[in-house]
Structure 1
Amino acid sequence: MVAWRRTGRRGRWLAGAAVVAVLAAAGVIIGVTASHRVVTLDEKHCGGGWAGPVAGHQSLTLRDAAPNPVQVYLIDPSRDLVYAEARDLTPGSRRAIDTTLGAGRYALRCVFTDGTVLTSPAHTLTGKVPGAVTGVKPMPDLDLGDPVTAYRTYVRDGLPGLLRDATRLAADVTSGDLTAAKRDWLPAHLDYERLGAAYNSFEDFDAEINGLADGLPEGVADPSWTGFHRIEYGLWHGQPAATLKPLTDGLVADIDGLIQDFASEDIDPGDLPLRTHEILENSLEFQVSGHADYGSGTTLATTYANTQGTQAVLGTLTSLITARNPALRAAIDAGLKTVQADLLACRDAGGSWTAATALPLPQRQRLDADLDGLLERLDVVPNLLYERTAA
């Protein structure tokens, strides 16, 4: 969990699973290339369907001609399923989107920023086609209330262990036993990494506890750099206990402050599904690459802890995922098991971790490929559990 940030890898598409971003917003003009039909949506009618299309590939050009942003859903109104969507389309914007629709009845539903919700008449598509997208059950944002509560409990229960192990690390440094400090640094650091999805609720504490030297004016010599990685740098670069003691004492104080503050912090419900993918996406960028290694050679241990953090998040979302894609959780679990086995194989006979940059090429390629495959499965979750209250 190192200076986590949203990256460009998060997909908008839910290919083969549920929802594909397809339709547009209020005032949208939709051109269907195959049948040369145009559907106009406005704040009074939300369109009337498109006349005469058959099931199959749909090439759509979208232009928002309305004055307000809007969410537009392609739905089966009788079964309350969403087949496609365009989120937050703004006036004057354009999108060109392709999708494949099977036989069935479809309607458009427009959800405007002023709270107005309009639904078009239903229209029937006929014919058979392979590869058609499947509908997904909408999810009101309130459905994420219980998962957020469960995840807050997971984090709350993990924080005392983090404080205990950080205190042990600080005691090692205070006594001048830096060999013991090296031994005790990793368990404390992994305690933090397993907290996974909560980093956005930690506010400034995350940077203080687990920030990297990236972007600091003086890099690793910057006096503002604190936390686990600064201590790691000092321990594995021969810095004396007198230099490290203020850092380990500060780490304990920051963790204690985090514990005191956490009860008043919120976890955004919409962030929880996103973190199922982002935790390991960032781990691939910073840990598997070795970028976050400041001397201990343990970034693959961190990656393993990040898989555990991902499992904790997924555990709170299982019922919501299964209700919308029954096979997805099993596929993700299989991918996690494979990646965890790859990571555990990156240790020597004594249990010490191999540095990421020291992995033999075939082993590194296998880990990269398996992690990429897992990320593709996890990438479905944020869109699957996107909040569609009015769809």
Structure 2
Amino acid sequence: MSVTDRSERVTGLPEFRLLWSSQSLSVLGTSVSRTAIPLIAATALAASPFQMGMLQAALGLSYLVLGLPAGAWIDRMRRRPVLIVCDLGRALLMVTLACAALLDRLTFPLLLGVALLLGAARTFYEVAYQAYIPAVVGRDRLVEGNSRLESTNSASQMAGPALAGALAQAGAAAAVSVQAVSYAASLLLMRRIRKPEAVPVRGPAANMREEIKGGLSFVLTHPLIRPVVGSAATYNFFYAVQAPLVLLLLVHEVGLSEAGAGVLMAVGGVGGVLGAASAGRLARRLGQVRVIRLAYLMAIPTVLLIPLAGPSWRMLFFAVPWFTAAYGLVVYNVAQVSFRQALCPDHLLGRMNASVRFLIWGIIPVGGVAGGALGEWAGVRGALLIAGVGMTSGALWLLSSRLRRLRDIPEQTGPPANRG
């Protein structure tokens, strides 16, 4: 059978098409939330740089608190029901915010509380869906499956900020109502997946602490996974420093409206879509390991130009690196996620994903608070420059490890998996 036959492609699988459609709507809601909630805080509630940092921290705090237990729990249960419950919870949270806005009861503490709960739901959702993908597409089609899913992540990053900006300008209630609808539609599509999912067998001596330790140990001791996680954690910390300041740069210093800022940020989504479309081809041509380091090295350093952004033609100093970094980051993400999934045994997938999320996303709250404090101390542009230098330094993990000599995934790597 030809490798181009429809039955050989993930898009020929009805279960994958449903998962892809559901995930697309869910990440659209998340992408709108990540821009709309800070925009509502910055405009409707006149939040300070430090409050913006707190909000960024709240959105990521759950990775630090719940990330490791989430992996152990998810390895004990079927993944699809977890995805459904997460979408339901987020839809209800958006309805709560919409009602508060309509009743003129929207406050910063309420926004902060909703951000914390949204972060918790996102933690469980992302750990579960990355553990669910191999069961739907098989390990031989992980790069293709992850490329398709990443393409919708990128499309959401393109549409989400622009949509969030337009909706935030129309009012907080409009912004969050659209997110509630997207999560509800995602839930309904996920419920339509009929492929049986085996219930993981839990041994009689299973212990939460030992299970968490087993997953974390696998990630931290694996000679090829550890440097990938280190580079991603470094990038995410300094991205979190950058994130609460970007909107302040565009709205307060460049002078854009909420809608204008959202449209400009959407160029990152364009870069991401193109990155997702080319990730599989680049991995085949350059090698799945080589493309991880090349994508990082060639794209991420461009963020050093962002502090130079200003009105008129100087907006190119934001748009070009925002586009380029998003393109490279998506290629990097497709390659490294598929790389990790291919190296990890089935029984550790949930805990591996959770351990990685704990390490690379759990650091975001610290970065968010640091970004807010840096913005107060060094000014928005100074803090953005520090963030750019830090994000670029993540490449050192890749260049100082065995990954720098590899083209593709080796046949056998690392120590035996701990079954704890």
Q: Please report the TM-score for the alignment, with normalisation by the length of structure 1.
A: 0.32
| Structure showing greater Rg | 1
User: Which fold has the larger relative contact order, with Cα–Cα distance below 8 Å and residues 6 or more apart in sequence?
Assistant: 2
Q: Please report the TM-score for the alignment, with normalisation by the length of structure 2.
A: 0.30
Query: More strand per residue: 1 or 2?
Result: 1
Query: More helix per residue: 1 or 2?
Result: 2
